[in-house]
Amino acid sequence: MSCGGLSETLDADPDIQKIADQVKDDLEKMADKCFLYLQAIQYRFQIVAGTLYYIKVYAFVKEDESYYYHLKVIQKISGNLELLAFQDGHDCDDPIEPFE
């Protein structure tokens, strides 16, 4: 990965799950849904003024209602996290690509 370039797709680990958990409330507000749980599946990252994460998550609402979202999260140099955007309508196998 070149400086400032986007990483390859990696499997989510406990640190990425923690990031997903910390932005869950913001995602619920933005998506207008209430999730029973949010599971980080994979991610990509880019070093900017902090770290930009693109995270694929599985969001379970209730039986027969679940979604795959792609999250765009910035971890600022201060360590604070902010959910910048999300994409819905994804499937489990969709690649993680940058988005606005």
CATH code, 10-90: 3.10.450.10
pLDDT digits (tens, 9 = 90+) for 4-20: 789 999 999 999 999 99
pLDDT digits (tens, 9 = 90+) for 86-99: 999 999 999 999 99
pTM listed for this prediction: 0.93
- The residues spanned by each domain of the chain are 10-90
pLDDT digits (tens, 9 = 90+) for 30-57: 999 999 999 999 999 999 889 999 999 9
In single-letter form, the type of residue at position 83 comes to L
Q: For 50, left (φ over 0), alpha (ψ -120 to 50), or beta?
A: left
